[in-house]
Amino acid sequence: MSTDMGIDLGTATVLVYLKGKGVILKEPSVVAIDKNTNRILAVGEEARKMIGRTPGNIVAVRPLKDGVISDYDITERMLKYFIRKACGKRRISAPKIMVCVPSQATEVEKRAVIDAAKNAGAKRVFLIEEPLAAAVGAGIDISKPNGNMVVDIGGGTTDIAVISLGGVVVRSSIKIAGDKFDEAIVRYIRNKHKLLIGDRTAEELKINVGAACSGIRNESMNIKGRNLVTGLPDNVLVNTEEMVEALEDTVKLIADTVHSVLEITPPELVSDIIENGIVLTGGGGLLYGLDVLIEKRTGVNVNFAEDSVSCVAMGTGMVLSYLDKLEVAISDSQVSMIE
């Protein structure tokens, strides 16, 4: 049987939407490989648990960087694994797949995604820009002549777009998102506390203690790592104010980019955005207080999508289901079809 699916091929997480069933798979985009034999040992959550904990011959890699493919071969094998896992035991003919890409992905990057999906088993591959998919997944009727602003903050990129009449009017994409938050935390802890921590610890700090601006949260967390002075295991207590300081530069860049997009948006659409508010989607957007920071910077209300993490994957699958109806509304620059 043929199975239509939408794939959110994210830097940090891959989500698969199956027609008629919704989002059925959500796993980290990590692959563990034996370097000696080039054999894949684990994919997804199992591979993520191996990061920083593998012997010399095994390496856990993330084949996507800043929202695009950095290791083509591993991405293809990872996609093949997820497609088969999503389809289960059913026999499938090569499915019709729609994959989302960052709004300013180059033609070379788009071609890499298309080739990887086709080699992983897809018969027909469609591409859609992430903000457009996020808007559909958030329940916005993109076919109407109303301006809607979507800010999709993932693991590798932040995509900002103003959408009207089924197309993107103004767009911007920056390679600052969840991963850069983690890097900023690791760097801050190393410089201030002389403690070396891993990305997983940094992510736990970001979720449990982190905030985008001061005065809205007061949490603390004990973290463990290696003391850079003594070389021995050590632990320190980190509070929210320190996390605000660590994340200050990265979150400011995101807020400034949202502001700059609003500056070049046609005035009639700005009026709609003020009325409708800005829609925030993506896992990176869940950083505590990021909506408050963007509101302060732009003066526009910010609303979270109902299921912000799965929003893009849901939108990708929904657009695929109604592609015949939307083809008139969505131009070739937003959805491209490869036979």
Q: Could you tell me the domains of the chain?
A: 5-133+312-338 (3.30.420.40), 143-176+252-308 (3.30.420.40), 178-247 (3.90.640.10)
Report helix, strand or coil for 293. helix
Report pLDDT for 67.
75
Residue-wise DSSP of 157-201: -EEEEEEETTEEEEEEEES-SHHHHHHHHHHHHHHHH-EE--HHH
Contact 13, 28 (CB under 8 A): yes
**Phi/psi at 265 (5° precision):** -85, 135
Assign 333 a pLDDT band (cuts: 50, 70, 90).
very low
Assign 112 a pLDDT band (cuts: 50, 70, 90).
confident
Looking at residue 95, the DSSP 8-state letter turns out to be P
Report pLDDT for 323.
64
Residue range 11-19: mean pLDDT, rounded: 86
Report pLDDT for 62.
87
Q: pLDDT higher for 9 or 93? A: 9
Closest CA to 249 of 202, 188, 201: 188
Residue range 231-260: mean pLDDT, rounded: 95
Q: pLDDT higher for 208 or 167? A: 208
pTM: 0.86
Residue range 61-65: mean pLDDT, rounded: 86
Report helix, strand or coil for 62. coil
48-61 burial, b for 16+ CB within 10 Å, e for fewer? Answer: bebbeebeeebebb
Assign 337 a pLDDT band (cuts: 50, 70, 90).
very low
As a whole number of angstroms, the distance between CA 321 and CA 316 comes to: 9
Least confident of 186-190, 206-210, 318-322: 318-322
DSSP lists the bridge partners of residue 23 as 17
Q: pLDDT higher for 265 or 85? A: 265
Report pLDDT for 90.
61
* Mean pLDDT value across the chain: 86
Least confident of 191-195, 288-292, 334-338: 334-338
Report pLDDT for 152.
93
Most confident listed range (16-25, 77-86, 272-281): 272-281
